[in-house]
Amino acid sequence: MKKEPVDVSVVIPVYNEEESLPALFERLFPVMNSLEGNWEVLFVNDGSRDRSLALMLDCVDRHRGSVRVVDFNGNFGQHMAIMAGFSLSRGATVITMDADLQNPPEEIPRLLEEIEKGHDVVGSIRSMRKDPFFRKFASRIVNRITNRITGLNLHDYGCMLRAYSRRVIDLINSCPETTTFIPALAQKFSLNPAEIEVGHSERELGTSKYSLFRLIRLNFDLMTGFSLVPLQAVTMLGLAVAGLSLAFSIYMLLRRLFVGPEAEGLFTLMTINFFLMGVTMFCVGIAGEYIGRIFQEIRKRPRYLVNRVYGDE
Protein backbone atom coordinates (compact mmCIF):
# COMPACT_ATOMS: atom_id res chain seq x y z
CA MET A 1 0.00 0.00 0.00
CA LYS A 2 1.35 3.43 -0.95
CA LYS A 3 2.04 5.49 2.14
CA GLU A 4 1.47 9.21 2.46
CA PRO A 5 4.38 11.57 1.71
CA VAL A 6 6.47 12.94 4.56
CA ASP A 7 8.55 16.07 4.91
CA VAL A 8 11.98 14.50 5.48
CA SER A 9 13.42 11.08 4.69
CA VAL A 10 16.83 10.00 6.00
CA VAL A 11 18.53 7.17 4.10
CA ILE A 12 21.33 5.32 5.90
CA PRO A 13 23.22 2.39 4.32
CA VAL A 14 24.45 -0.13 6.88
CA TYR A 15 27.13 -2.79 6.47
CA ASN A 16 28.43 -4.54 9.59
CA GLU A 17 27.88 -1.58 11.92
CA GLU A 18 26.63 -3.28 15.07
CA GLU A 19 29.11 -1.31 17.19
CA SER A 20 27.97 2.08 15.85
CA LEU A 21 24.21 1.58 15.56
CA PRO A 22 23.24 2.01 19.26
CA ALA A 23 25.08 5.34 19.44
CA LEU A 24 23.56 6.35 16.10
CA PHE A 25 20.03 5.64 17.36
CA GLU A 26 20.73 7.58 20.54
CA ARG A 27 21.82 10.70 18.64
CA LEU A 28 19.70 10.52 15.48
CA PHE A 29 16.16 10.25 16.82
CA PRO A 30 16.28 13.26 19.18
CA VAL A 31 17.35 15.30 16.15
CA MET A 32 14.49 13.94 14.05
CA ASN A 33 11.94 14.55 16.83
CA SER A 34 13.09 18.17 17.04
CA LEU A 35 12.21 18.81 13.38
CA GLU A 36 8.99 20.44 12.33
CA GLY A 37 6.76 18.19 10.24
CA ASN A 38 6.77 14.42 9.88
CA TRP A 39 9.75 12.30 8.97
CA GLU A 40 10.97 8.78 8.29
CA VAL A 41 14.27 6.93 8.53
CA LEU A 42 15.19 4.19 6.05
CA PHE A 43 18.03 1.87 6.99
CA VAL A 44 19.35 -0.24 4.12
CA ASN A 45 21.02 -3.44 5.29
CA ASP A 46 23.71 -4.06 2.66
CA GLY A 47 24.33 -7.72 3.41
CA SER A 48 25.58 -7.30 6.99
CA ARG A 49 26.93 -10.47 8.58
CA ASP A 50 26.87 -9.25 12.19
CA ARG A 51 23.94 -8.22 14.41
CA SER A 52 23.19 -5.03 12.49
CA LEU A 53 19.90 -6.31 11.08
CA ALA A 54 18.66 -7.43 14.50
CA LEU A 55 19.45 -4.00 15.98
CA MET A 56 17.65 -2.24 13.14
CA LEU A 57 14.58 -4.47 13.48
CA ASP A 58 14.45 -3.63 17.17
CA CYS A 59 14.55 0.03 16.15
CA VAL A 60 11.59 -0.58 13.81
CA ASP A 61 9.58 -1.95 16.74
CA ARG A 62 10.44 1.04 18.93
CA HIS A 63 9.65 3.62 16.24
CA ARG A 64 6.73 1.95 14.54
CA GLY A 65 5.56 3.89 11.49
CA SER A 66 8.64 6.12 11.27
CA VAL A 67 11.43 3.62 10.62
CA ARG A 68 11.79 1.08 7.84
CA VAL A 69 14.56 -1.39 7.05
CA VAL A 70 15.38 -2.48 3.52
CA ASP A 71 17.14 -5.84 3.73
CA PHE A 72 19.37 -6.66 0.75
CA ASN A 73 19.95 -10.20 -0.46
CA GLY A 74 23.74 -9.74 -0.35
CA ASN A 75 26.27 -6.92 -0.47
CA PHE A 76 25.75 -4.50 -3.38
CA GLY A 77 27.73 -1.49 -2.23
CA GLN A 78 27.01 1.83 -0.55
CA HIS A 79 25.70 3.66 -3.58
CA MET A 80 23.30 0.89 -4.59
CA ALA A 81 22.04 0.84 -1.00
CA ILE A 82 21.36 4.56 -1.21
CA MET A 83 19.61 4.09 -4.56
CA ALA A 84 17.30 1.53 -2.95
CA GLY A 85 16.55 3.99 -0.17
CA PHE A 86 15.81 6.69 -2.75
CA SER A 87 13.35 4.43 -4.57
CA LEU A 88 11.39 3.77 -1.36
CA SER A 89 11.68 7.23 0.22
CA ARG A 90 8.61 9.44 0.54
CA GLY A 91 10.17 12.67 1.76
CA ALA A 92 9.97 16.03 0.05
CA THR A 93 13.61 16.27 1.13
CA VAL A 94 15.89 13.25 1.33
CA ILE A 95 19.05 13.22 3.44
CA THR A 96 21.80 10.64 3.17
CA MET A 97 24.35 9.86 5.85
CA ASP A 98 26.65 7.04 6.92
CA ALA A 99 26.09 4.91 9.99
CA ASP A 100 29.57 5.34 11.44
CA LEU A 101 28.86 8.74 13.10
CA GLN A 102 31.89 10.39 11.52
CA ASN A 103 29.45 13.03 10.33
CA PRO A 104 27.14 14.01 13.20
CA PRO A 105 23.36 13.74 12.71
CA GLU A 106 23.10 17.05 14.60
CA GLU A 107 24.03 18.71 11.29
CA ILE A 108 20.76 17.62 9.64
CA PRO A 109 18.81 20.81 10.58
CA ARG A 110 21.51 22.92 8.88
CA LEU A 111 21.08 20.95 5.66
CA LEU A 112 17.33 21.46 5.81
CA GLU A 113 17.80 25.20 6.32
CA GLU A 114 19.71 25.37 3.03
CA ILE A 115 16.96 23.41 1.27
CA GLU A 116 14.39 25.88 2.61
CA LYS A 117 16.43 28.71 1.07
CA GLY A 118 15.74 27.26 -2.36
CA HIS A 119 18.72 24.98 -2.98
CA ASP A 120 17.82 21.62 -4.51
CA VAL A 121 21.08 19.84 -3.58
CA VAL A 122 23.09 20.61 -0.45
CA GLY A 123 26.52 19.00 -0.24
CA SER A 124 28.85 19.03 2.71
CA ILE A 125 32.55 19.62 3.26
CA ARG A 126 34.20 17.86 6.19
CA SER A 127 35.67 20.50 8.48
CA MET A 128 38.75 19.62 10.56
CA ARG A 129 38.76 16.16 9.03
CA LYS A 130 40.01 13.48 11.43
CA ASP A 131 41.23 10.94 8.87
CA PRO A 132 44.95 10.01 8.52
CA PHE A 133 47.13 12.49 6.65
CA PHE A 134 47.68 10.20 3.66
CA ARG A 135 43.93 9.72 3.19
CA LYS A 136 43.24 13.45 3.44
CA PHE A 137 46.04 14.29 1.01
CA ALA A 138 44.93 11.64 -1.50
CA SER A 139 41.31 12.80 -1.19
CA ARG A 140 42.31 16.40 -1.90
CA ILE A 141 44.22 15.40 -5.03
CA VAL A 142 41.41 13.14 -6.27
CA ASN A 143 38.81 15.87 -5.69
CA ARG A 144 40.78 18.34 -7.83
CA ILE A 145 41.47 15.87 -10.62
CA THR A 146 37.87 14.70 -10.65
CA ASN A 147 36.53 18.25 -10.89
CA ARG A 148 38.79 18.89 -13.88
CA ILE A 149 37.76 15.66 -15.59
CA THR A 150 34.02 15.77 -14.95
CA GLY A 151 33.49 19.54 -15.11
CA LEU A 152 31.78 19.51 -11.71
CA ASN A 153 32.57 21.75 -8.76
CA LEU A 154 32.39 19.60 -5.66
CA HIS A 155 34.87 20.17 -2.86
CA ASP A 156 34.37 16.87 -1.00
CA TYR A 157 33.20 13.84 -2.97
CA GLY A 158 33.65 11.50 -0.03
CA CYS A 159 31.21 13.06 2.45
CA MET A 160 27.79 11.39 2.19
CA LEU A 161 25.98 13.75 4.56
CA ARG A 162 23.89 15.49 1.88
CA ALA A 163 20.36 16.73 1.24
CA TYR A 164 18.36 16.38 -1.98
CA SER A 165 15.04 17.80 -3.12
CA ARG A 166 12.31 15.46 -4.35
CA ARG A 167 12.79 16.67 -7.95
CA VAL A 168 16.44 15.60 -7.92
CA ILE A 169 15.59 12.28 -6.24
CA ASP A 170 13.01 11.49 -8.92
CA LEU A 171 15.55 12.26 -11.64
CA ILE A 172 18.13 10.01 -9.99
CA ASN A 173 15.55 7.22 -9.67
CA SER A 174 14.88 7.47 -13.41
CA CYS A 175 18.51 6.61 -14.23
CA PRO A 176 18.86 2.86 -14.93
CA GLU A 177 22.66 2.58 -14.90
CA THR A 178 24.14 -0.20 -12.78
CA THR A 179 27.16 1.80 -11.53
CA THR A 180 26.98 5.42 -10.52
CA PHE A 181 28.27 8.00 -8.08
CA ILE A 182 25.31 9.70 -6.42
CA PRO A 183 26.78 13.09 -5.36
CA ALA A 184 28.10 13.69 -8.88
CA LEU A 185 24.85 12.54 -10.50
CA ALA A 186 22.83 14.86 -8.27
CA GLN A 187 25.17 17.74 -9.10
CA LYS A 188 24.47 17.15 -12.80
CA PHE A 189 20.72 17.42 -12.19
CA SER A 190 20.84 20.32 -9.76
CA LEU A 191 19.64 23.79 -10.69
CA ASN A 192 20.78 25.55 -7.52
CA PRO A 193 23.33 23.51 -5.55
CA ALA A 194 25.05 24.60 -2.35
CA GLU A 195 27.72 23.29 0.02
CA ILE A 196 28.22 23.82 3.73
CA GLU A 197 30.95 22.82 6.15
CA VAL A 198 29.98 20.12 8.63
CA GLY A 199 31.70 18.54 11.58
CA HIS A 200 33.77 15.41 11.23
CA SER A 201 34.79 12.93 13.92
CA GLU A 202 37.21 10.08 14.01
CA ARG A 203 35.57 6.68 13.79
CA GLU A 204 35.35 5.43 17.38
CA LEU A 205 33.57 2.11 16.86
CA GLY A 206 33.97 -0.55 14.20
CA THR A 207 36.27 -0.39 11.21
CA SER A 208 36.10 1.37 7.86
CA LYS A 209 34.48 -0.70 5.10
CA TYR A 210 36.39 1.10 2.36
CA SER A 211 39.69 -0.59 1.60
CA LEU A 212 42.22 1.03 -0.73
CA PHE A 213 41.01 -1.20 -3.58
CA ARG A 214 37.36 -0.21 -3.06
CA LEU A 215 38.29 3.47 -2.96
CA ILE A 216 40.15 3.12 -6.26
CA ARG A 217 37.19 1.29 -7.79
CA LEU A 218 34.83 4.00 -6.59
CA ASN A 219 36.95 6.71 -8.19
CA PHE A 220 37.03 4.76 -11.45
CA ASP A 221 33.22 4.65 -11.33
CA LEU A 222 33.16 8.39 -10.77
CA MET A 223 35.58 9.35 -13.56
CA THR A 224 34.42 6.90 -16.22
CA GLY A 225 30.73 7.34 -15.38
CA PHE A 226 30.65 11.10 -15.87
CA SER A 227 33.28 11.91 -18.48
CA LEU A 228 35.06 10.67 -21.59
CA VAL A 229 38.15 12.68 -20.68
CA PRO A 230 40.18 9.63 -19.50
CA LEU A 231 39.54 7.88 -22.82
CA GLN A 232 40.34 11.04 -24.77
CA ALA A 233 43.49 11.59 -22.71
CA VAL A 234 44.62 8.06 -23.54
CA THR A 235 44.07 8.78 -27.24
CA MET A 236 46.13 11.96 -27.03
CA LEU A 237 48.84 10.12 -25.08
CA GLY A 238 48.94 7.45 -27.77
CA LEU A 239 49.33 10.10 -30.47
CA ALA A 240 52.10 11.82 -28.51
CA VAL A 241 53.99 8.55 -27.92
CA ALA A 242 53.57 7.60 -31.58
CA GLY A 243 54.98 10.99 -32.64
CA LEU A 244 57.94 10.68 -30.30
CA SER A 245 58.59 7.12 -31.48
CA LEU A 246 58.56 8.30 -35.09
CA ALA A 247 60.98 11.11 -34.31
CA PHE A 248 63.24 8.70 -32.44
CA SER A 249 63.15 6.24 -35.37
CA ILE A 250 64.14 9.01 -37.80
CA TYR A 251 66.98 10.02 -35.47
CA MET A 252 68.24 6.43 -35.23
CA LEU A 253 68.09 6.04 -39.04
CA LEU A 254 70.04 9.25 -39.64
CA ARG A 255 72.55 8.29 -36.98
CA ARG A 256 73.09 4.92 -38.62
CA LEU A 257 73.63 6.57 -42.02
CA PHE A 258 76.05 9.29 -40.89
CA VAL A 259 77.65 7.91 -37.70
CA GLY A 260 77.30 4.15 -37.92
CA PRO A 261 75.42 1.44 -36.01
CA GLU A 262 75.04 1.87 -32.26
CA ALA A 263 76.08 -1.14 -30.22
CA GLU A 264 76.18 0.48 -26.80
CA GLY A 265 72.55 1.60 -26.67
CA LEU A 266 71.00 -1.78 -25.89
CA PHE A 267 69.86 -0.92 -22.36
CA THR A 268 68.54 2.44 -23.52
CA LEU A 269 66.38 0.71 -26.12
CA MET A 270 65.20 -1.81 -23.51
CA THR A 271 64.23 1.03 -21.16
CA ILE A 272 62.31 2.78 -23.93
CA ASN A 273 60.63 -0.51 -24.83
CA PHE A 274 59.51 -1.13 -21.23
CA PHE A 275 58.20 2.42 -21.02
CA LEU A 276 56.16 1.99 -24.21
CA MET A 277 54.84 -1.35 -22.92
CA GLY A 278 53.71 0.37 -19.71
CA VAL A 279 51.97 3.11 -21.68
CA THR A 280 50.24 0.49 -23.82
CA MET A 281 49.01 -1.48 -20.81
CA PHE A 282 47.74 1.71 -19.17
CA CYS A 283 45.84 2.68 -22.32
CA VAL A 284 44.35 -0.80 -22.64
CA GLY A 285 43.29 -0.63 -18.97
CA ILE A 286 41.45 2.67 -19.42
CA ALA A 287 39.69 1.41 -22.53
CA GLY A 288 38.87 -1.79 -20.67
CA GLU A 289 37.19 0.18 -17.88
CA TYR A 290 34.74 1.70 -20.35
CA ILE A 291 34.18 -1.61 -22.15
CA GLY A 292 33.57 -3.33 -18.82
CA ARG A 293 30.90 -0.80 -17.92
CA ILE A 294 29.23 -1.29 -21.29
CA PHE A 295 29.24 -5.03 -20.59
CA GLN A 296 27.63 -4.46 -17.20
CA GLU A 297 24.89 -2.33 -18.73
CA ILE A 298 23.96 -4.65 -21.59
CA ARG A 299 23.57 -7.64 -19.23
CA LYS A 300 20.53 -5.89 -17.74
CA ARG A 301 21.00 -7.54 -14.36
CA PRO A 302 19.25 -5.92 -11.38
CA ARG A 303 21.34 -3.36 -9.53
CA TYR A 304 20.38 -4.89 -6.19
CA LEU A 305 18.06 -7.54 -4.77
CA VAL A 306 15.75 -6.70 -1.89
CA ASN A 307 15.00 -9.60 0.41
CA ARG A 308 12.34 -7.79 2.45
CA VAL A 309 11.26 -4.34 3.58
CA TYR A 310 10.52 -4.25 7.32
CA GLY A 311 8.21 -1.61 8.71
CA ASP A 312 5.81 -1.44 5.75
CA GLU A 313 2.23 -2.31 6.38
> pTM higher than 0.85 for the full model?
no
16 and 129 in a single domain? The answer is yes
Least confident of 103-117, 121-135, 277-291, 293-307: 121-135
Q: What is the tally of structural domains in the chain?
A: 2
On whether residue 108 sits in a domain, the answer given is: yes
167 and 74 in a single domain? The answer is yes
22 and 152 in a single domain? The answer is yes
Range of the domain at 114: 6-206+303-310
Give the model's pLDDT for residue 276.
Answer: 77
Between 275 and 145, residue with greater pLDDT: 275
Residues 60, 47: Cα–Cα separation, whole Å: 18
Give the model's pLDDT for residue 1.
Answer: 44
20 and 146 in a single domain? The answer is yes
95 and 173 in a single domain? The answer is yes
On whether residue 224 sits in a domain, the answer given is: no
CA distances from 143 to 19, 137, 205, 260, 297 (A): 30, 10, 27, 52, 26
Give the model's pLDDT for residue 92.
Answer: 95
On whether residue 185 sits in a domain, the answer given is: yes
176 and 263 in a single domain? The answer is no
Least confident of 82-96, 162-176, 276-290: 276-290
The model's confidence at residue 180, banded by pLDDT at 50, 70 and 90, is: confident
248 and 187 in a single domain? The answer is no
The model's confidence at residue 117, banded by pLDDT at 50, 70 and 90, is: very high
251 and 135 in a single domain? The answer is no
Between 269 and 28, residue with greater pLDDT: 28
On whether residue 219 sits in a domain, the answer given is: no
Least confident of 4-8, 174-178, 207-211: 207-211
Give the model's pLDDT for residue 224.
Answer: 66
Give the model's pLDDT for residue 188.
Answer: 85
On whether residue 169 sits in a domain, the answer given is: yes
On whether residue 223 sits in a domain, the answer given is: no
173 and 255 in a single domain? The answer is no
54 and 152 in a single domain? The answer is yes
Question: Mean pLDDT throughout 270-279?
Answer: 74
199 and 70 in a single domain? The answer is yes
CATH code (residue 187):
3.90.550.10
129 and 185 in a single domain? The answer is yes
Least confident of 7-16, 197-206, 279-288, 293-302: 197-206
Residue 62 has pLDDT above 80, yes or no: yes
pLDDT tens for 216-258 read 666 666 666 666 667 777 777 777 777 777 777 777 777 777 7
On whether residue 211 sits in a domain, the answer given is: no
Pairing of strands 6-14, 91-96: parallel
Give the model's pLDDT for residue 85.
Answer: 95
On whether residue 212 sits in a domain, the answer given is: no
